[in-house]
C-alpha cells in the first residue's frame, strides 16, 4: 500500500474531524473550514522552486490563509501575500538582473563621471574610517536589492500590519547582538523581507525597529511554529534546505561552508517545524544558493515536484473548499508603476549640511511620481559615492500618499584601493589609489593614482562637481614612460618620455554620463634616446616648458570598461599648444590639435557583441621644415607628446592621443594626422570566457598634400580572454601589413 496515500487519507480525516468538533447549530459555523498555513524555508536561489509549487497550488485552488518564510522563502512568501500570482512572480524573477544583486555593482551610467575616471581597475577596495582603513561589514550593501523590494511592495506601502495583507504574512530575522529569532509581523514590508534574507557577511545587517537583524535562517529557517501560532490548523511546508553535510567532499565552496556552519544552529527549529507540518514537500536539486541565473530550471524543478504531489494536493483542496463554499476569490494585485509622494524625509542629521543633496528630490514632493523616476534619482544619488550606505522606505502618509524616508548611513570618507597588471611588453606594475570624498561637506573629492613599475606614474585630481553648473578642478600628472621604436617590425631605437603637468579646469556634468571640461595645462616635458643612435635627435633630451588651452567633451555610458556589452564611449578634444621655452624652436611651434573617438557596443545575438570604433585626429601646423639637421623632414609640430600614435592593445594610455591598433607594436606608428576604423566581434562562448575577432584599418601621416602617397595600415588578430577577479586575462595573436610576423601578446589584470 502507498504510504503517502495512507498519510493523506489520515490528513483528510483530520480535516473532517476538526470540522465535526467545530459543528454548532449556526450554519456559518457548521461550514467553517480548517485554516491553511504555507511555510517556505530559506535556501537562496533554490527558493525559486516555490514559484513552480505556487503555480500548482493555484491550479488545485488551494486556500492559503497564512504564509511565512525565512530568507529567500520570505521574499517569495511576501510576494504571494501581497497578491501577486505565481505567473506574475515568475515574470518578476525573469526581469531582474540577478548578477547586479549578487555583486551589488552600481551601473556605470549612474556613477559620477569623476568616479568613472578613477574606477574599474581595482582588485580590492578598503573604506576609510576613523583615522585609517577598515574592512567592510559585508561584501555588499544590498542597495540594488533594496530598490527592487521597495518597487515590488509599493502597492501595499500603506499597510504596516502584515496581518492586513491579502494573505497574512510573517518572516523571521536574527538579532545580530543576541542571536535570538525575531518574528517580523509589523513595520515596513520591504525592510522586513530585506532583514530576513541578510546573509551574514554577504549582505549588510538591517536596522529594524531598533535592532540589527541578519538572515532569519541562521536560527530558524523553517518557521512553521510561528505560522501555526497565527492560527493555521494545517501546515503545508515547502523546503529547499540541503541539510547538514556528512562528508568534507560535499563542502566545496565558501557558500557551502557558510551554509554548513549556519545549519548547526537551525537544526532544532527544523525539527520543531517538521513535527507541526501536515504536508511536507521536500525539493532536492543540483543547484546552489547563488545560482540565481538558473531561475527557469529551478522553477521547473519546483513545478515537477509539485505535480508529483498533485493528486494529494488536489484532494486536500477539494475537501477544504467543500467546507467553505462562500470563500471569496483571491485578490490579484497588479504591478504598480507610480506612487503619490507626500514628502521627502532625510533621517540623518548629518545630511542637513549637504544642501546639494537635500534638494535632490524636491520636485517629487506632493506629486504623482513614477517608481522608475524615483529609482533613477536614488541610483544617481548612490552613484555620487557620498554615502557608504543609502536606502529608503515608503512610509504611510495621509490621503493614501507615502513619505519617502531616506537613510544614508555613514558619510563616505574615501577608500584605499589596489590593482595589478602584467603584460609581455611593459612587464609588471602595481596600482595604489587613494580617494578622499566629502571634502568641504560633500562638495569636493580628491583622487590619487600611484603606479609602481617600469613606467611609474603619480596622477591626482581635485574636483568640485556641481552638476551642470560650473565646478572647479585641478589635476597633476607625473610619469616616466619608455617604449621601443620599430620600423616594419624591426626594433631601431628606444625612447624615454618624462612628463610633469599641472592643469586647472572648469567641469560640468549631465546625469553622470556627460562631462564637459575647459581649462589650462602647464607641461614640463622631455624625450631622449635610451641608447644614442642619432646624435641630432639627442639634442632634445632636456626639459622644455609648454602650455595648452583645452576643451573636451566626454560621454561614457558603458556598463563596464572591460567586456562591456552595452553603452558607448565618445571623446571630442581640442587643444591649442604653445611652447614657453625655445630649446626646440626649429621644430616646435604654436599649434592646435583636434581629435575625435567613438566606440559602441551593439548586441547582435545573445552571446555576440559588435564593437565598432572610429578615431580621427588632425593637427593644425606651420610650414614644412627639416627636423633639425637630420634627414627626416616634416611639418613643425606643437609638441612631441601630442603626436598621434598607433600601436599596442592598451585601452588606457598615459597620453590620450596614443591609440591602440591591432598588429602594431606599442606606438609603432606616429604622425600629426591620424584616422582609424576598428571592427571587433566579441563572442562569450562560456561563462567568463570570450573570443574576439579584431580588424583595424587606418592611416598615420605627417603630410596630407598628396593623397596618393598615403599608406594604409591594416591590422588583424584574435584575442582569447578570461574575465577574472583581478581583471582580464588575455592572449592575442595578431599581425599587420607592415609586419607580417605573427605577434603574441599576453596580458593579466586591469589596465591603468
CA dihedral of 329, 335, 338, 339, whole degrees rounded to 10 = 50
Instruction: Write the CA distances from 92 to 40, 86, 196, 578, integer angstroms.
Output: 18, 10, 20, 59
CA distance from start to end of the chain: 71
Rounded Cα gap, residues 196 and 171, in angstroms: 7
H/E element, 636: none
- Mean pLDDT for 73-87 is 95
| Distance separating alpha carbons of residues 723 and 334, to the nearest angstrom | 39
Place of cell 578622499: 436
Interstrand relation of 367-370 and 727-736 (parallel, antiparallel or unpaired)? unpaired
Per the listing, cell 540541503 goes with 242
Mean pLDDT computed over 543-571: 93
Instruction: Name the pLDDT band for 327 (thresholds 50, 70, 90).
Output: confident
List the grid coordinates of 281: 514537500
Under a CB-based contact definition with an 8 Å cutoff, are residues 187 and 211 in contact?
A: no
- Asked whether the beta carbons of 665 and 650 are under 8 A apart, the reply is no
400 vs 460: CA distance, rounded Å: 50
Closest CA to 138 of 80, 188, 212, 78: 212
Three cell numbers written together for 236:
503545508
Cell of 84: 501577486
SS (H, E, C) 174-193: EECCCCCEEEECECCHHHHH
Asked if residues 171 and 134 have their Cβ atoms less than 8 Å apart, the reply is no
- Flag the least confident range among 28-37, 460-469, 640-649, 661-670: 28-37
Beta bridge partners of 599: 569, 613
The contacts of residue 56 (CB under 8 Å, 6+ apart) are 303, 306, 307, 309, 310, 313
Rounded mean pLDDT of 360-388?
Answer: 87
Q: What is the mean pLDDT of residues 113-134?
A: 84
Q: How far apart are CA 659 and CA 667, in angstroms?
A: 8
| Banded pLDDT at 624 (limits 50, 70, 90) | very low
Q: How confident is the model at residue 629 (pLDDT cuts 50, 70, 90)?
A: very low
Q: What is the 3-state secondary structure (H, E, C) of 42-64?
A: CCHHHHHHHHHHHHHHHHCCCCC
Cβ(73)–Cβ(237) under 8 Å? no
pLDDT of residue 247: 65
Contact predicate 181/174, CB 8 Å = yes
Give the whole-angstrom CA distance, residue 696 versus residue 664.
10
| Res. 353 pLDDT band, cuts 50 70 90 | low
Rounded CA-CA distance 712/553 in Å is 29
Question: How many CB atoms neighbour CB 413 within 10 A?
Answer: 15
Residue 63 near residue 321, CB atoms below 8 Å? yes
Please report the pLDDT score of residue 485 as a whole number: 78
> Residue 2 — pLDDT band, cuts 50, 70, 90?
low
| DSSP H stretches of helix in 397-530 | none
- Comparing CA positions, the residue from 211, 212, 198, 206 lying closest to residue 258 is 198
Average pLDDT over residues 322-330: 82
More confident call, 324 vs 21: 324
- Selection from 54, 139, 138, 125 nearest residue 88 by Cα: 54
For residues 299 and 86, give the distance between their C-alpha atoms in angstroms, rounded to a whole number.
Answer: 11
What does the pLDDT read at residue 18? 47
| 613-637 mean pLDDT | 64
Q: What are the residues facing 673 on neighbouring strands?
A: 618, 701
Check: CB of residue 240 under 8 Å from CB of residue 47.
yes
Which stretch of 169-173, 341-345, 549-553, 720-724 has the lowest confidence by average pLDDT? 341-345
Of 344, 467, 365, residue with least CA distance to 408 = 344
Main-chain phi, psi angles of 70, to 5 degrees: -125, 145
At residue 36, what are phi and psi to the nearest 5 degrees? -110, 130
305, 233, 290: which is closest to 256 by C-alpha?
290
Backbone angles phi and psi of 421, in degrees to 5: -155, 145
Which residue did the predictor score with more confidence, 484 or 730? 730
Residue 536 pLDDT: 56
| Cα–Cα distance for residue pair 346/343, rounded to 1 Å | 10
Q: Of 730, 688, 553, 697, which Cα lies nearest the Cα of 612?
A: 697
Question: What pLDDT score does 500 carry?
Answer: 95
Confidence class for position 1, pLDDT limits 50, 70, 90: very low
Q: What share of the chain is helix, strand, coil (3-state, %, to 5)?
A: 25, 40, 35
In 440-537 the beta strands, taken as DSSP E runs, fall at 444-453, 457-464, 472-487, 490-510, 514-529
pLDDT in tens, 244-273: 665 666 556 656 666 666 665 667 778 888
Q: What pLDDT is stored for residue 54 in this prediction?
A: 95
Higher pLDDT, 449 or 630: 449
Distances (CA, A) of 659 to 384, 597, 669: 30, 10, 10
Give tens-digit pLDDT for 159-194: 999 999 999 999 999 999 898 999 999 999 999 999
The grid cell for 652 is: 588606457
**Residue 531 in this model has a pLDDT that exceeds 70:** no
Q: What are phi and psi of 82, to 5 degrees?
A: -70, -30
Over the chain, what is the mean pLDDT?
85
What per-residue confidence (pLDDT) applies to 625?
A: 40
Amino acid at each position: 500500500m502507498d504510504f503517502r496515500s495512507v498519510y493523506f487519507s489520515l490528513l483528510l480525516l483530520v480535516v473532517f474531524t476538526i470540522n465535526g468538533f467545530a459543528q454548532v447549530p449556526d450554519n456559518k459555523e457548521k461550514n467553517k473550514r480548517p485554516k491553511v498555513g504555507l511555510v517556505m524555508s530559506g535556501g537562496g536561489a533554490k527558493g525559486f522552486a516555490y514559484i513552480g509549487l505556487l503555480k500548482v497550488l493555484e491550479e488545485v485552488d488551494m486556500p492559503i490563509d497564512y504564509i511565512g518564510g525565512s530568507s529567500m522563502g520570505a521574499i517569495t512568501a511576501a510576494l504571494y501575500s501581497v497578491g501577486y500570482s505565481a505567473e506574475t512572480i515568475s515574470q518578476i524573477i525573469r526581469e531582474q538582473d540577478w548578477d547586479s544583486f549578487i555583486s551589488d555593482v552600481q551601473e556605470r551610467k549612474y556613477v559620477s563621471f569623476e568616479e568613472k575616471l578613477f574606477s574599474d581597475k581595482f582588485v580590492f577596495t578598503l573604506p576609510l574610517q576613523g583615522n585609517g582603513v577598515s574592512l567592510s561589514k559585508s561584501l555588499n550593501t544590498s542597495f540594488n536589492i533594496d530598490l527592487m523590494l521597495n518597487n515590488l511592495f509599493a502597492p501595499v506601502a500603506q499597510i504596516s500590519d502584515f496581518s492586513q495583507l491579502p494573505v497574512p504574512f510573517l518572516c523571521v530575522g536574527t538579532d545580530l547582538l543576541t542571536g535570538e529569532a525575531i518574528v517580523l509581523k509589523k513595520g515596513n514590508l520591504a525592510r522586513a523581507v530585506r532583514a530576513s534574507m541578510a546573509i551574514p557577511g554577504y549582505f549588510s545587517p538591517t536596522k529594524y525597529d531598533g535592532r540589527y537583524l541578519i538572515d532569519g535562517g541562521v536560527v530558524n529557517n523553517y518557521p512553521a511554529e510561528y505560522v501555526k501560532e497565527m492560527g493555521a490548523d494545517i501546515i503545508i511546508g515547502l523546503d529547499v534546505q540541503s541539510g547538514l553535510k556528512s562528508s568534507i567532499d560535499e563542502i566545496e565552496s565558501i557558500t557551502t561552508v557558510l551554509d554548513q556552519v549556519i545549519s548547526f544552529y537551525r537544526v532544532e527549529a527544523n525539527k520543531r517545524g517538521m513535527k507541526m507540518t501536515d504536508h511536507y514537500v521536500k525539493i532536492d536539486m543540483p543547484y546552489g544558493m547563488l545560482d540565481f541565473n538558473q531561475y527557469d530550471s529551478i522553477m521547473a524543478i519546483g513545478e515537477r515536484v509539485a505535480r508529483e504531489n498533485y493528486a494529494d494536493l488536489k484532494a486536500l483542496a477539494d475537501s477544504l473548499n467543500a467546507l467553505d463554499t462562500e470563500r471569496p476569490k483571491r485578490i490579484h494585485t497588479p504591478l504598480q508603476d507610480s506612487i503619490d509622494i507626500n514628502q521627502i524625509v532625510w533621517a540623518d542629521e548629518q545630511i542637513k549640511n549637504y544642501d546639494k543633496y537635500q534638494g535632490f528630490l524636491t520636485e517629487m514632493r506632493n506629486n504623482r511620481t513614477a517608481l522608475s523616476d524615483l529609482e533613477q534619482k536614488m541610483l544617481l544619488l548612490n552613484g555620487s559615492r557620498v554615502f557608504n550606505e543609502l536606502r529608503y522606505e515608503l512610509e504611510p502618509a495621509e490621503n493614501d500618499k507615502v513619505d519617502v524616508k531616506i537613510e544614508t548611513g555613514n558619510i563616505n570618507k574615501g577608500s584605499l584601493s589596489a590593482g595589478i597588471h602584467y603584460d609581455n611588453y611593459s612587464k609588471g606594475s602595481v596600482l595604489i589609489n587613494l580617494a578622499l570624498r566629502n571634502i568641504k561637506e560633500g562638495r569636493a573629492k580628491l583622487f590619487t593614482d600611484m603606479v609602481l613599475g617600469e613606467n611609474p606614474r603619480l596622477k591626482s585630481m581635485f574636483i568640485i562637481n556641481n552638476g551642470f553648473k560650473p565646478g572647479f578642478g585641478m589635476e597633476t600628472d607625473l610619469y616616466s614612460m619608455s617604449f621601443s621604436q620599430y620600423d616594419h617590425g624591426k626594433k631601431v631605437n628606444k625612447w624615454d618620455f618624462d612628463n610633469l603637468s599641472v592643469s586647472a579646469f572648469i567641469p560640468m556634468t549631465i546625469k553622470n554620463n556627460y562631462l564637459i571640461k575647459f581649462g589650462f595645462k602647464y607641461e614640463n616635458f622631455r624625450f631622449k634616446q635610451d641608447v644614442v643612435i642619432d646624435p641630432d635627435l639627442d639634442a632634445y633630451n632636456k626639459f622644455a616648458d609648454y602650455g595648452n588651452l583645452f576643451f573636451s567633451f566626454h560621454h561614457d555610458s558603458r556598463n563596464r570598461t572591460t567586456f562591456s556589452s552595452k553603452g558607448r564611449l565618445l571623446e571630442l578634444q581640442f587643444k591649442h599648444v604653445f611652447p614657453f621655452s625655445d630649446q626646440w624652436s626649429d621644430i616646435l611651434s604654436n599649434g592646435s590639435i583636434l581629435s575625435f573617438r567613438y566606440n559602441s557596443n551593439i548586441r547582435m545575438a545573445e552571446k555576440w557583441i559588435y564593437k565598432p570604433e572610429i578615431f580621427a585626429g588632425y593637427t593644425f601646423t606651420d610650414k614644412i621644415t627639416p627636423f633639425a639637421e637630420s634627414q627626416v623632414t616634416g611639418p613643425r609640430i606643437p609638441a612631441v607628446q601630442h603626436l598621434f600614435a598607433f600601436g599596442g592593445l592598451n585601452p588606457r594610455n598615459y597620453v590620450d592621443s596614443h591609440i591602440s591598433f591591432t598588429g602594431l607594436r606599442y606606438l609603432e606608428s606616429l604622425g600629426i594626422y591620424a584616422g582609424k576604423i576598428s571592427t571587433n566581434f566579441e563572442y562569450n562562448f562560456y561563462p567568463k570566457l570570450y573570443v574576439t575577432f579584431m580588424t583595424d584599418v587606418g592611416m598615420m601621416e605627417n603630410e596630407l598634400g598628396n593623397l596618393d602617397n598615403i599608406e594604409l595600415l591594416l591590422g588583424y588578430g584574435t584575442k582569447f580572454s578570461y574575465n577574472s577577479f583581478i581583471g582580464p586575462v588575455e592572449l592575442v595573436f595578431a599581425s599587420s601589413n607592415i609586419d607580417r610576423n605573427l605577434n603574441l601578446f599576453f596580458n593579466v589584470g586591469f589596465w591603468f
